[in-house]
Structure 1
């Protein structure tokens, strides 16, 4: 099928949402791939172009395998075809369907948790987390799932051989598979605590009457996970008061973004800073304090770049962006966030130092090399050879223009 249909348009929209968690934004904004998905067309012959990226997370730096955009789209299509008839239980809020959106789903879970916390007779919350779920989910568990297809199974086997794992962080298709794989856990919870639980990925919150009930449920969950090749994390599972939920996953961050930025800096509240950066309009105070706020908070860089892109027309943001380009460590992750900003802003492209482009080239990861090539052209130079036929074609056809820009909008 090569005609644009409602299903293909839905798949293309799901892929566009997926790009909000792309660790290496596409040099062409993945516009050509979205178009191919919308038309139901082939995505290319190399869907598993995998690179390793050292990514700063909230509490650690982790080496994460990342796929090219074509690979993401290929696996997303196969996953959605396999899960077409799978519907999670209503207490599952993560990655429910092709039309699922992060922010509205997160708010729905907040509302659900707050409603449960207000119910009488449930003073405690059992918090359960699966030990290294993203790394430990066995291929065999997915192959035995009732919705698995032959084509998806073969591609997942290839992925495991190439990347050493199945559920790649930040990939929508991976979160869809992980959510669906835990359906047996949801069936158990529906019996043991009907209407008193919520799941997001592998994080489970169960509102209980007492510690005895919590112990019973925890034991039952461990039993149902064992045949899936999974086990509970001994460090992350605990029983707490409902107040801890209201201060954690159900916490509502409210207020003017500029005020949240100030209080986030004063209280070293990274969650408030993340919230503020994605919502603050161009603001001189935020721009002037941004580079300092990033010191020791590398995980904020994606949202800082998104803010600078929105504010790039202001002198204070231009100064902050230029300072960031000249002082940032020449790491692959840094290049992956700063080069899209430079690719969208020719005046910033001229400020990109060679060492940042060299770090992208040295990564060996094709999408990052494509970004470097695009920025180098904007600087008025050109590296010896285009890194891919896709970029070469874009250069020859004049597509490296403002209609197809790298993306800085992010959920990271």
Structure 2
């Protein structure tokens, strides 16, 4: 095991900000305390740091129970993982979560360009798609502990996490994606030897461009052997051979045009990818605001992006009306509470419109970050809270001025 290395505070804070873009329960204080700790290169105290909850999260095609973590868990695992991986460099064909300064959108665009270039080659008519079967659930603890980059402190933290959660990796966490990227390095070496320069990987999503079916079959067999050695297997449903051009309508598909127009077309054909793209990019728009509530009701997976859009649109009458309609028709589940309480925490004028049932489901969740969001909204409503405040929220009540105005984050990649 290595000892890790010291990392610069500003770079850690910037990368952790990116991590929060995939937080299922936004932090009630915008993770200000975590950022300060990172700037100083400190871990949070051990008392109660390993706090996990669970949300039923609507995905594009199913609803899945997702483990969610407090900021103390996120910041500890993030710092320990970055220290461990500071000298690990993935192969250039791997585009996901490569380094501390890695950024999502530039990396995704670079992958698109590489896939398009490979798909245009006449000597490579086929593409072999490979996908690991439930990687975040299936990756054995031992596979991580034996990584050449592993440190003692990260090994201890992963072992403790596995004992509580029954898994090594938490979906939506940057540190989990960093570790998963590193853990699949043996697969990368196999692909590089058999198809040099003719493959890409994003997470556990692999595309290998081949000359014929026989070559594709040989590479798949070699990939299966490589994964078996670290206790993983391919997904039979998601691993297949297709025409190389198929990637142009899949992972390499580019959405272009005015976001408002992408929104209109996405609604017409039920394209969730287009709707998520548009919500993240469109300025406040009367048509989008008018259609938003019904779109979220039909496709709950859009809720995180809808809250992000409404954060920008709250300064318009149509945006305010859409936010109030969304609150009045909201489902009373923890996933909905996490997004809408964060929005109300950012915009106090919405606090009075938050249904009591939404506060109650957050309080009864037993998950402190969600209860802290509910507490903040209750304070904004001048209403006595059902549960006593955590020490963090007691501190928040005591301070005044600029520091108290730290707000939950609703910007998201979800």
Once the two structures are superposed, the pairs formed by residues 331-342 of structure 1 within 5 Å of their partners are: 331-342=333-344
- Aligned residue pairs, count: 408
- Measure the CA separation in 1 of the matches of 2:382 and 2:403: 14
Equivalent residues of 1:386, 1:392 under 8 A apart: no
- The one-character-per-residue Cα deviations of 1:310-334 (angstroms, maximum 9, x if unpaired) are 0001111111110111111110000
The residue that corresponds to 2:158 in the other structure is 156
Indicate the RMSD between aligned Cα atoms, in angstroms: 1.3
Question: What is aligned with 1:186?
Answer: 188
CA distance in 2, matches of 1:179, 1:241: 27
CA distance in 2, matches of 1:109, 1:167: 24
Report what 2:265 is aligned to: 263
TM-fit CA distance, 1:188: 0.7
How far, CA to CA, are the matches of 1:196 and 1:135 in structure 2?
A: 29
Aligned partner of 1:388 in structure 2 is 390
Match of 2:87, SS state, is: coil
| Structure 1 residues 46-195: aligned runs within 5 Å | 46-195=48-197
The structural deviation recorded for 1:236 is 0.8
* Contact 1:366 1:387 (8 Å CA) reproduced: no
CA drift at 1:394: 1.2
Which residue in the other structure is 1:343 paired with? 345
Q: Runs of 5+ in structure 1 lacking a partner? A: none
Distance 1:32 1:73 in 2: 10
Determine the C-alpha separation between the residues in 1 that align with 2:78 and 2:69. Answer: 12
Deviation at 1:104, TM superposition (A): 1.1
Give 1:287 shift: 0.2
Tell me what 1:38 maps to. 39
Separation in 1, partners of 2:245, 2:49: 46
Q: Does the CA-based 8 Å contact 2:27-2:369 persist in structure 1?
A: yes
What runs of 5+ residues in structure 2 fail to find an aligned partner?
A: 1-5
Counterpart-to-counterpart distance in 1, 2:26 and 2:108: 23
Separation in structure 2 between the aligned mates of residue 353 and residue 153 of structure 1, nearest angstrom:
43
Deviates more, 1:178-187 or 1:374-383: 374-383
Q: Secondary structure at the match of 2:20?
A: helix
| Cα distance between partner residues in 2 of 1:169 and 1:360 | 21
Aligned residue for 1:94, secondary structure, equals coil
Pairing partner for 2:248 from 234, 243, 246: 246
Q: Tell me the residue number matched to 2:411.
A: 409
1:347 Cα deviation after fit: 0.9
Alignment of 1:177-326 (within 5 A): 177-326=179-328
The aligned counterpart of 1:19 is: 20
Query: Aligned with 1:371: secondary structure?
Result: helix
Q: Are 1:47 and 1:72, in contact at CA under 8 Å, matched by a contact in 2?
A: no
Per the TM alignment, residue 41 of structure 1 is displaced from its structure 2 partner at its CA by: 2.7
Partner of 1:228, secondary structure, is coil
SS in 2 for 1:63: strand
Does the residue aligned with 1:295 lie in a helix, a strand or coil? helix
The answer to whether residue 332 in structure 2 is matched with residue 330 in structure 1 is yes
> What is the match of residue 372 of structure 2?
370
Contact 2:7–2:41 (CA under 8 A) maintained in structure 1: no
Deviations 1:138-162 (A, max 9, x none): 0011111111111111111110111
* Distance in 2 (alpha carbons) for counterparts of 1:384 and 1:336: 17
Where in structure 1 do 4 or more consecutive aligned residues deviate above 2 Å?
Answer: 44-47, 384-387, 398-403
Question: Offset at 1:295?
Answer: 2.1
Give the drift of 1:218.
Answer: 0.1
Give the alignment's TM-score, normalised by structure 2: 0.96
By how many angstroms is 1:9 displaced?
Answer: 1.5
Deviation at 1:42, TM superposition (A): 3.5
CA contact (8 A) 1:12 1:34 kept: yes
